[in-house]
């Protein structure tokens, strides 16, 4: 009987240790679970559009990076979007259509694979396309653009900027630009290179009072 008195406390102690070790192991396993990377989408209309496209599931102000990373074509036309924050995480995006929304600015500088941008009929005052070396087409008619720089977009073929508020435009570095519309802007001088000055492409359109020049100062 004396031996039994010693066995019981030892058994209880061992049982307690096993239980504690098991709980610690579960906690450690939970801590090791990777957290899925997400991107903030603050504009409700933008996120709703992503949900409609099955790129998101719930309206929570964010989207899983794994759902958007491989998207090449994104059509968000007429969705009431005023803020496109988060678009930079669409790292494989080639074609973007945001026509007829409420955008006032558009920063696409992180979308290095973009080839086509369609942003007509917004409220844009600026578009950042710096670093988009393979960009081919920009459609941004009927906005409020006051500036746009395309000097680094050496692959640009089409640039439609009619009905904006541009005071200047420099296309002297865009030797492949064959389709260019700059009518109904308050500028009166378009900066070009010598080849463009000597033989403007047939699909370039400007106001009659505007002129092409090597120096617009």
Write the pLDDT tens digit of every residue in 57-95: 999 999 999 999 999 999 999 999 999 999 999 999 999
Phi, psi (degrees; rounded to nearest 5) at 21:
-65, -40
Instruction: For residue 119, give the nearest of 134, 101, 144, 135 by alpha carbon.
Output: 101
pLDDT at 12: 43
**Residue 4 domain flag:** yes
Residue 214 pLDDT > 80, yes or no?
Answer: yes
Q: Which domain holds residue 192?
A: 68-213
At 145 the three-state DSSP class reads coil
Query: Which is more confident, 2 or 174?
Result: 174
The count of domains in the chain is: 2
> Quick one: 17 and 105 in the same domain?
no
List the beta strands (DSSP E) in the chain: 38-40, 62-64, 73-75, 95-97, 105-107, 116-118, 126-128, 137-139, 147-148, 158-160, 179-181, 189-191, 203-205, 211-213
Q: Quick one: average pLDDT of 110-129?
A: 97
**Residue 50 domain flag:** no
pLDDT at 32: 65
> Quick one: 100 and 14 in the same domain?
no
pLDDT at 18: 47
**Residue 82 domain flag:** yes
> Quick one: 163 and 105 in the same domain?
yes
**Residue 180 domain flag:** yes
DSSP 89: G
For the sheet with 137-139, list strands across it. 73-75, 95-97, 116-118, 137-139, 158-160, 179-181, 203-205
> Quick one: 134 and 190 in the same domain?
yes
**Residue 47 domain flag:** no
Question: What integer best gives the mean pLDDT of the chain?
Answer: 89
Query: Which is more confident, 52 or 18?
Result: 52
Residue 178 pLDDT > 90, yes or no?
Answer: yes
> Quick one: 10 and 97 in the same domain?
no
């Amino acid at each position: 009987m004396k031996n039994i008195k010693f066995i019981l406390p030892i058994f209880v102690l061992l049982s307690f240790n096993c239980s504690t070790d098991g709980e610690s192991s579960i906690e450690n396993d939970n801590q090791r679970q990777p957290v899925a990377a997400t991107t903030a989408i603050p504009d409700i209309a933008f996120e709703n559009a992503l949900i409609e496209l099955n790129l998101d599931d719930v309206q929570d102000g964010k989207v899983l990076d794994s759902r958007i990373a491989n998207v090449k074509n994104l059509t968000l036309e007429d969705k009431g979007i005023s803020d496109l924050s988060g678009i930079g995480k669409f790292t494989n995006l080639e074609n973007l259509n945001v026509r007829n929304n409420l955008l006032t600015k558009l920063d696409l500088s992180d979308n290095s694979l973009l080839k086509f941008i369609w942003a007509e009929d917004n409220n844009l005052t600026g578009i950042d396309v710096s670093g988009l070396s393979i960009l081919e087409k920009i459609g941004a008619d009927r906005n409020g653009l006051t500036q746009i720089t395309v000097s680094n977009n050496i692959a640009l073929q089409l640039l439609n900027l009619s009905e904006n508020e541009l005071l200047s435009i420099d296309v002297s570095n865009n030797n492949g630009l064959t389709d260019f519309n700059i009518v109904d802007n308050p500028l009166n001088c378009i900066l070009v290179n010598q080849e463009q000055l000597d033989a403007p492409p047939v699909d370039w359109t400007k106001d009659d009072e505007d002129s092409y020049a090597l120096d617009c100062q």
